[in-house]
C-alpha cells in the first residue's frame, strides 16, 4: 500500500509539469498572439471584466452580423474576459495595451501593431470599417481586390 502511494505521488509529480507545458502550448499568451498577427491581421480586441458585460455582448453581436466584412478586411476578433485570463495576460493588457481592468474596452490594432482606435463603449461597425478603410494599407488592399 505504501509503495503504491509513493508511485502515485511520483507519477503526479512527473505528469504535472507536462500538463502545464501542454496547456501553455495550447494557449499562447496575448503578447504572442498579437506579435504573430502583426502584418497579417487587424485585431479587434474586446475586453470585459466579466462575460455578462452588456457592452461586451452588444459588440460581439454587432461583429457577428458582419462576418463577411470583417473577413474581407483581415480582421481577427479577440474576446478577452478578465475572469478567464492568466495573470501575465492581465498585466500585459494593463501595462502595454493600457486597458482599465474594471471597464469594457474595444480596440482596433492595425497590421503594424499600433492601436488605431480605442473606445469604452460598443463600436459601430460603420465607425470600425470607416476607420480601417481610411488606412493607407487598406487602400492598397482595396486596389488589389
> Which CATH number covers residue 105?
3.40.30.10
Instruction: Check pLDDT > 50 for residue 7.
Output: yes
| Chain centroid offset of residue 107 CA | 10
Residue 100 is assigned to a structural domain of this protein: yes
Question: What one-character DSSP code corresponds to residue 122?
Answer: P
Tell me which of 2 and 143 has the higher pLDDT: 143
Q: For the chain, what percent of residues have pLDDT higher than 70?
A: 82
The answer on pLDDT for 21 being more than 80 is no
Mean pLDDT of 121-139: 92
Note if the pTM is more than 0.85: no
Whether pLDDT at 143 is above 90: no
- H or E segment at 41? none
- Going by pLDDT thresholds of 50, 70 and 90, the confidence category of residue 1 is low
pLDDT given for residue 22 in this prediction: 41
Which of the pair, 17 or 63, is modelled with greater confidence? Answer: 63
Helical (H) or strand (E) element with 86: none
Q: What is the number of structural domains in the chain?
A: 1
Edge-to-edge order in the sheet of strand 42-48: 75-81, 42-48, 105-109, 115-119
In a domain, 60, yes or no: yes
- Residue 72, domain member (yes or no): yes
Write down the pLDDT at residue 141: 83
pLDDT level of residue 4 (50, 70, 90 thresholds): low
Q: Quick check: 90 and 109 in contact, CB under 8 A? A: no
Q: What average pLDDT does this structure show over 94-114?
A: 96
In a domain, 22, yes or no: no
Angle (nearest 5°) at CA 77 between 139 and 65: 85
Mean pLDDT of the 31-46 span: 96
* Residue 107 near residue 79 (C-beta atoms within 8 A): no
| Domain presence at residue 13 | no
Domain that holds residue 55: 30-144
Amino acid at each position: 500500500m505504501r509503495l503504491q502511494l509513493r508511485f502515485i505521488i511520483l507519477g503526479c509529480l512527473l505528469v504535472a509539469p507536462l500538463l502545464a507545458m501542454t496547456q501553455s502550448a495550447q494557449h499562447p499568451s496575448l503578447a504572442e498572439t498579437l506579435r504573430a498577427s502583426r502584418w497579417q491581421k487587424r485585431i479587434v480586441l474586446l475586453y470585459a471584466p466579466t462575460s455578462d458585460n452588456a457592452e461586451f455582448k452588444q459588440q460581439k453581436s454587432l461583429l457577428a452580423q458582419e462576418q463577411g466584412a470583417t473577413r474581407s478586411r483581415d480582421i481577427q476578433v479577440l474576446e478577452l474576459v478578465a475572469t478567464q485570463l492568466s495573470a501575465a495576460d492581465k498585466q500585459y493588457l494593463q501595462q502595454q495595451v493600457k486597458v482599465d481592468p474594471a471597464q469594457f474596452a474595444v480596440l482596433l490594432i492595425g497590421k503594424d501593431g499600433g492601436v488605431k482606435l480605442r473606445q469604452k463603449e460598443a463600436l459601430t461597425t460603420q465607425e470600425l470599417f470607416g476607420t480601417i478603410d481610411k488606412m493607407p494599407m487598406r487602400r492598397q488592399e482595396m486596389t488589389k481586390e
